[in-house]
Amino acid sequence: MDKLLGENKLADNHILCNKCLNEASNINKDVVNNLQQFFLPEIRGIILQGKIGETENFGSSQTSNFQSPETPSFGFGGTVTRLDDIQDQIVALNARLSIFVNSEVKELVHILENNEKLTAIAEGLTIPAKVEGLLFSTQKRVVFIDKKLFGNVQKDEYLFENIRSVDHVESLLYSTLKIFSKNGSTAEFKLHNKNDGKNFCNAVNQYLNGTISQSTSQQQQQQQQQQIQSSSFNLYNMPVSENPFQKPAELNPVQQNSGIPKEAPEVIFEQLEKLGKLREMGVLTDQEFTEQKKKLLDRL
């Protein structure tokens, strides 16, 4: 094997020949100066991306002056398949995926639920196991998948409800994503493009913050409901002297001469207004409101 001065050793201890090194360096100038930071799948991906780009440029130049009258069809029978929809989502995210994860992309049809949408997706490998695969996030979870040679799929799932935070570190040519779980464990991934880590953090944090806000809102609603229930309990169990709907007999001289105490209309109307507010808050039911209202009107 032809080599430069010394061995062309990669990060995974593979030795790269000069021909492959030259091809990769022609596509990405940083390869030759940072060779020990690359893994073999990354070098293969760089070379393949270059060849794919040349093919696309050649094809576009040949068809630039020709327009086909046919409308594009998707899937079978002209209908849009689930895989078509997923691939459209990947394109919309401007994700850069190589052909090495084609099988994983097809596997998304069986992994994603019908209501799940991709919010970030990247090609990378696990650290420290160095398992190559596909990492993606949706509105409810982050998942890493690796489809093996014989069809079995390795799937590592991280639900948002179990994630404490996410963080990323950008290097010259790649990025590292860390997922911190609430149980204290950490999952780490090396993503082949340096912007992928930031994209993942933005996507995941958006939903994490939304979940936190939703939980806070639910807690506030529960506290308000508890306060209402407490107020309702106190209303019907407070002493007669403190109840706004009842007057003690000794404080109302009219009660000496009549079975029903009489009060000024202004006081009754004020209490009726308070009664209506308590019904709007949910403290009183309609039946309780009607009974209390009748008692107040009898005191006019």
- Per the CB < 8 A criterion, the answer to whether 105 and 123 are in contact is no
The total domain count for the chain is 3
Q: Domain holding 112: CATH number?
A: 2.30.29.30
Same domain, 33 and 117: no
Same domain, 106 and 221: yes
Same domain, 106 and 13: no
Same domain, 106 and 148: yes
Same domain, 200 and 279: no
Same domain, 219 and 276: no
- Whole-angstrom distance, CA of residue 143 vs CA of residue 113: 13
Burial 68-104, CB ≥16 within 10 A → b, else e: eeeeeeeeeeeeeeeeeebeebbeebebebbebbebb
State pTM to two decimals: 0.48
Same domain, 275 and 164: no
pLDDT tens column, 152-199: 899 999 999 999 999 999 888 899 999 999 999 999 999 988 889 999
- Whole-angstrom distance, CA of residue 296 vs CA of residue 262: 9
The residue segments making up the domain with residue 145 are: 99-227
pLDDT tens column, 50-100: 765 555 555 555 544 544 444 444 444 457 788 989 988 998 888 888 888
- Please check whether residue 293 lies inside any domain of the structure: yes
Name the DSSP letter for residue 155: E
- Please check whether residue 68 lies inside any domain of the structure: no
